[in-house]
Copies of this chain bind each other. A is one copy, B any other.
């Protein structure tokens, strides 16, 4: 993932796993400002929306960058063009501290837009393109850098189209789209000091079209390498799709996933999420997943095998709300809470009605009561762990992941038995399986905690 090849350019390499904690540096109360260039015309996207406001995986490009940066930045200085009012309107209720500067002549280039931020940016500041999409981890590493943040191993951009950088002694030597000999690709992310405005002023006085790359070259700013992370200049609908795909696929949490979720459900849900992330909210997805579970339960009155299949389908859909929430930066604890409460009721409903439509004898109802109880207790045993120890049980005790019995695994097995119309064996199996898993879970947790 990280390019650590020696580029003979004395770069400060940040992309290394064993770095000291990022937070330390930013504890010192030395908050920066960030200049966001959002005056671009974005003519290639076809749509009317200004590029910074284009949604990628359910979130506007500019929001994505500002949201992550807001851990490091105390004010955003946004240079906008004709889209000024729309950007202002969009940002108004988002909770950022920002000011907008208008560039009345955006056709003079992004270097001219940048020059207009002079006097607003503070001594040391971040400069970032408002129409680039960056993976969160890229930004967290880039803010630690100095000068131009370059990628020596750009995995997601078309290098032919990209701005290339040639370094000398850790500083920009040459920069341009047509360099044949280069060390890194310009990511559009910079950590600068205000001395650069003097160079900008010179270029502005000399030329009509002011390219940021020319300013950067004249200032011979330092270069920091942050390689291998996802970032893109989203210019075409195809690139938009590629960005959406990466973000959604990167949004699987996974620590609580069972084997079925990992090897079957996620492969489907992630495609579904990609498809709906721009259209449905996580909460709508939660409701949809609950309704599909209810639908499965009602289908029991018509066909047990069909109901089993729809139940498995609802288990696939159940993965989408979390994926969409993470991909579109809408994670909410209330959403997580609601999702898991509704899951319990959907599971109850299915088992309960399965017993009802099967005209169980009293003895089988006793097993069903055990199966229903055990199913909730599987969730209870891990949630109570988190409530008591303030850490995820599966993250803290990885061996718990091998205890089959999580929701995705149960539902898959339920579907198989429903397809075979083997209701009573299923109920006995669930009664034993779920409660055995709870006892084992407790046993493993106890062993783990007593050792410590």
Contacts and interface: CB of A to CB of B under 8 A. Distances in A.
A385 interface: yes
A362 B356 CA distance: 9
Contact of A370 (B336, B352, B387): B352
Interface in A369-391: 369-370, 372-373, 376-377, 379-381, 383-390
A259 interface: no
A368 interface: yes
A381 B376 CA distance: 11
A383 B373 contact: no
A334 B377 CA distance: 17
A182 interface: no
Contact of A387 (B338, B368, B376, B383): B383
Nearest to A448: B334
Nearest to A361: B362
Q: How large is the interface on A (under 10, 10 to 19, 20 to 34, 35 or more residues)?
A: 35 or more
Interface stretch (A6-14, A340-348, A407-415): A340-348
A337 interface: yes
A201 to B, nearest CB: 46
A369 B356 CA distance: 11
A336 B388 contact: yes
Contacts of A334: 388, 445-446, 449-450
A388 B382 CA distance: 12
Nearest to A449: B334
A365 interface: yes
A444 interface: no
A258 interface: no
A2 B384 CA distance: 38
Contacts of A355: 366, 369
Contact of A376 (B362, B373, B386, B388): B373
A120 interface: no
**Identical copies of this chain, number:** 2
Contacts of A373: 348, 352, 372-373, 376
Given A334-B450, A356-B366, A380 B376 contact: yes
Interface string A306-345: 0000000000000000000000000001101110110010
B449 A388 contact: no
A377 B337 contact: no
A337 B376 contact: no
A446 B362 contact: no
Contact of A372 (B369, B380, B385): B369
Nearest to A392: B387
Interface in A222-262: none
A372 to B, nearest CB: 5
Given A362-B365, A369-B355, A337 B386 contact: no
A337 to B, nearest CB: 5
Report, nearest first, the 10 A-B pairs whose CB atoms are least far apart. A365-B365, A386-B387, A334-B449, A383-B387, A333-B388, A376-B376, A337-B388, A387-B387, A369-B369, A383-B384
18 contacts: A333-B388, A334-B445, A334-B449, A337-B388, A338-B442, A341-B380, A341-B384, A341-B438, A355-B366, A362-B365, A365-B366, A365-B368, A373-B376, A376-B376, A380-B380, A383-B383, A383-B384, A384-B387
Interface of A: 333-334, 336-338, 340-341, 344, 348, 352, 355-356, 360-362, 365-366, 368-370, 372-373, 376-377, 379-381, 383-390, 438, 442, 445-446, 449-450
